[in-house]
A and B are shown apart, each in its own frame.
Chain A
């Protein structure tokens, strides 16, 4: 007897809550078996992976630190995704943001003043937006797929970063290592909570979330973007500009990613180095979809993803889990989630099952 899927007439709200929980449970069961086979203590692993990030302030502050760029980028991307403008090049926009922000401490390492870090963040946002403007231009003018162009622009951004670090921006006192000078004090985003690395960028990310909420739920412009994503013909019928939707989507996404890049380089990083391109731009795509492309959902999914990262580190440090197994957990959780959310729109029915009259 087989199982068939039948589309629900309306999305199930109950499933929308149950599906992520079920996915987490399934991933835990699957990985439980893996840890048994690998000879790790599953209880210790899951404790480190899922609970430890929340039990101490020092590790929770690290969760918040990791969450900040994810939240910023994902909120920006989600706006575009709602409009079906698929920007998968946030990684490149993030790198450009870091590069733009670094220009000040690299060119003016002696400069002082409280204006430096805010200007750096602003420059970073502008840099990311500019990097996203190119795909927007090509999409609107030449109808080039923004999916491909943004991805390719990310590769170019990586090369540009490598060039700057081995070339003109290399720290002259840095033994030829590919990194810039350490930034001066005023070029660092102020720490928010003493004793932790959480900085003002977290506040910006939360403000950005509030803005995204108002923009997408309350503003007419956000509404137009959503219409474009749901029903392109309705956009033309209403006379909303498709080109403007593309520009807005990419510029907002690029600005957010650039801002995140600037906050990273002027925050925990403290200098521009190759490690800046650590995959936040791609992880944020997952965060955006996990959050259902909704600003509030993304707030939770970014917290969740960040906790998963920190938990993964913990599992390596405290429970001796190899890094590959951490990735397996993160990946399997995502797969389970994607499988589970199908149930929100579909229900399972056994073949030949009598539907009671």
Chain B
């Protein structure tokens, strides 16, 4: 992690270089490294959401070296504190802000509006501005594949998911997981426990144990930043997978795989755009086709024929010939969610508020 100078010393240093070289401050300014700041809600640690975001900056560091100056601010609670810290880091000279949590949206958007020269990437949101891109991963592509593997390995026909919050992103992941499983075993059932926290290892473990007690034998750890669920499943002998970064070492035998997010292609593209002046705010919904979503660390227990089918589907998703949310899809309440032959548009996916049939747990409210 690169550590920036504090502001006073920063000014002293640049003034000194300016004097020594005898060049105008404006030129010195042009040589300033690009300040990139990442603000994340949890500790970066070694795994999880914040870790994946931080890792996404590594290739940028490798590529640009001293001409970028990366600051990572971890464990920043959403609300006034995050707003202040984002303002502060921009006031300190950062021109490229990565707001790594949905709850930063309002503060980050205000910064973007007030500072047209600052580029903001915001995770999981929906607001767009010329210098403000929300970004999200098509986790559902990966969880669909995971569903196929889970159904092939499940003996009880019951799958489970420990999930953070009932927001569209997580709902779509569960739905795709269910659809993928049903493509292998139409009778499969999926139970969900919402823990209503991004970070609460104790509650996550309790939730996992509850699912195991209901005979679920493959568990989807949906948006947990700790190996809490993964470890519990390894101990109990149930297959388990998670999102963002691999936790295979926490479950050496029962780790089904990881729906990994590699944000670096998107970050790299955005930084380039910022430096070239070609950045344009857009709703970046990134998936297998963008090399952002990948499934890694597949468990060798998966039958070869299933694995072959999975690879086939993955390739089809990448080239656009297959979409997991293609009809006919029936909702939990037995109405039709997607008509036969139709494909759900992105706007409907990012605001999905219903479960597919086969998910046994009703959505909260």
Is B81 at the interface (CB under 8 A from chain A)? yes
A316: which of B73, B165, B350 is its contact (CB, 8 Å)?
A: B73
Is B291 at the interface (CB under 8 A from chain A)? no
Closest to A163 in B: B196
Q: A166-B196, A167-B364, A317-B89 are in contact. Are A275 and B7 (CB under 8 A)?
A: no
Indicate if the CB atoms of A278 and B77 lie closer than 8 Å: yes
* Interface 0/1 of A274-292, CB less than 8 Å to B: 1110100000000000000
Q: A167-B365, A176-B165, A176-B166 are in contact. Are A317 and B79 (CB under 8 A)?
A: no
Indicate if the CB atoms of B3 and A320 lie closer than 8 Å: yes
Is A146 at the interface (CB under 8 A from chain B)? no
Indicate if the CB atoms of B83 and A317 lie closer than 8 Å: no
The stretch of A5-13, A106-114, A177-185 in contact with B is: A177-185
CB distance from B60 to the nearest CB of A (A): 18
Is A52 at the interface (CB under 8 A from chain B)? yes
Chain B residues with CB below 8 A from A65, complex form: 80, 84
Is A162 at the interface (CB under 8 A from chain B)? yes
Is B272 at the interface (CB under 8 A from chain A)? no
Closest to A179 in B: B103
Closest to A174 in B: B167
Chain B residues with CB below 8 A from A44, complex form: 5-6, 9
Indicate if the CB atoms of B353 and A176 lie closer than 8 Å: yes
Chain A residues with CB below 8 A from B166, complex form: 166, 176
Chain B residues with CB below 8 A from A182, complex form: 106
Chain A residues with CB below 8 A from B102, complex form: 175, 177
Indicate if the CB atoms of B73 and A273 lie closer than 8 Å: no
CB distance from A180 to the nearest CB of B (A): 13
Indicate if the CB atoms of A176 and B168 lie closer than 8 Å: yes
Chain B residues with CB below 8 A from A322, complex form: 74
Is B1 at the interface (CB under 8 A from chain A)? yes
CB distance from A42 to the nearest CB of B (A): 12
Report the bound CA distance from A179 to B364 in whole Å: 14
CB distance from B140 to the nearest CB of A (A): 15
Indicate if the CB atoms of A47 and B8 lie closer than 8 Å: yes
* Interface 0/1 of B201-230, CB less than 8 Å to A: 000000000000000000000000000000
Indicate if the CB atoms of B364 and A320 lie closer than 8 Å: no
* Interface 0/1 of A302-336, CB less than 8 Å to B: 00000000100110111110110000000000000
Which residues 46-75 of B sit at the A interface, judged by CB distance below 8 A?
Answer: 71, 73-75
Is B126 at the interface (CB under 8 A from chain A)? yes
CB distance from B206 to the nearest CB of A (A): 16
Chain A residues with CB below 8 A from B126, complex form: 175
* Interface 0/1 of B1-45, CB less than 8 Å to A: 101111111000000000000000000000000000100000100
Report the bound CA distance from A278 to B5 in whole Å: 29
Which residues 134-182 of B sit at the A interface, judged by CB distance below 8 A?
Answer: 165-168, 171
Q: A175-B126, A175-B167, A177-B103 are in contact. Are A273 and B78 (CB under 8 A)?
A: yes
Chain A residues with CB below 8 A from B85, complex form: 313, 316-317
Closest to B74 in A: A323
Chain A residues with CB below 8 A from B92, complex form: 317-318
Chain A residues with CB below 8 A from B296, complex form: none
Indicate if the CB atoms of B165 and A178 lie closer than 8 Å: yes
CB distance from B231 to the nearest CB of A (A): 23
Is B91 at the interface (CB under 8 A from chain A)? yes
Report the bound CA distance from A269 to B107 in whole Å: 10
Report the bound CA distance from A276 to B77 in whole Å: 10
Is A48 at the interface (CB under 8 A from chain B)? yes
Indicate if the CB atoms of A320 and B4 lie closer than 8 Å: yes
Which residues 76-114 of B sit at the A interface, judged by CB distance below 8 A?
Answer: 77-81, 83-85, 87-89, 91-92, 102-103, 106
Report the bound CA distance from A59 to B350 in whole Å: 37
Report the bound CA distance from A167 to B81 in whole Å: 25
Indicate if the CB atoms of A318 and B84 lie closer than 8 Å: no
* Interface 0/1 of A256-273, CB less than 8 Å to B: 000000001001111001
Is B361 at the interface (CB under 8 A from chain A)? no
Is B360 at the interface (CB under 8 A from chain A)? no
Is A219 at the interface (CB under 8 A from chain B)? no
Is A345 at the interface (CB under 8 A from chain B)? no
Q: A176-B168, A317-B71, A323-B75 are in contact. Are A268 and B365 (CB under 8 A)?
A: no
Chain A residues with CB below 8 A from B365, complex form: 166-167, 170
In addition to A44-B5, A267-B80, A268-B79, 13 A-B residue pairs with Cβ atoms within 8 Å of each other are A166-B364, A170-B365, A175-B168, A175-B350, A177-B165, A182-B106, A197-B80, A197-B83, A276-B79, A313-B84, A313-B85, A316-B85, A317-B71
Task: Give 15 A-B contacts (CB < 8 Å), ordered by A residue.
Answer: A166-B166, A166-B364, A167-B364, A167-B365, A170-B365, A176-B165, A176-B168, A176-B353, A177-B103, A268-B80, A274-B78, A278-B81, A313-B81, A317-B73, A317-B85
Taking Cβ atoms with an 8 Å cutoff, the residues of A that contact B are 40, 44, 47-48, 52, 58-59, 62, 65, 162, 166-167, 170, 175-179, 182, 197, 264, 267-270, 273-276, 278, 310, 313-314, 316-320, 322-323
Taking Cβ atoms with an 8 Å cutoff, the residues of B that contact A are 1, 3-9, 37, 43, 71, 73-75, 77-81, 83-85, 87-89, 91-92, 102-103, 106, 126, 165-168, 171, 196, 350-351, 353, 364-365
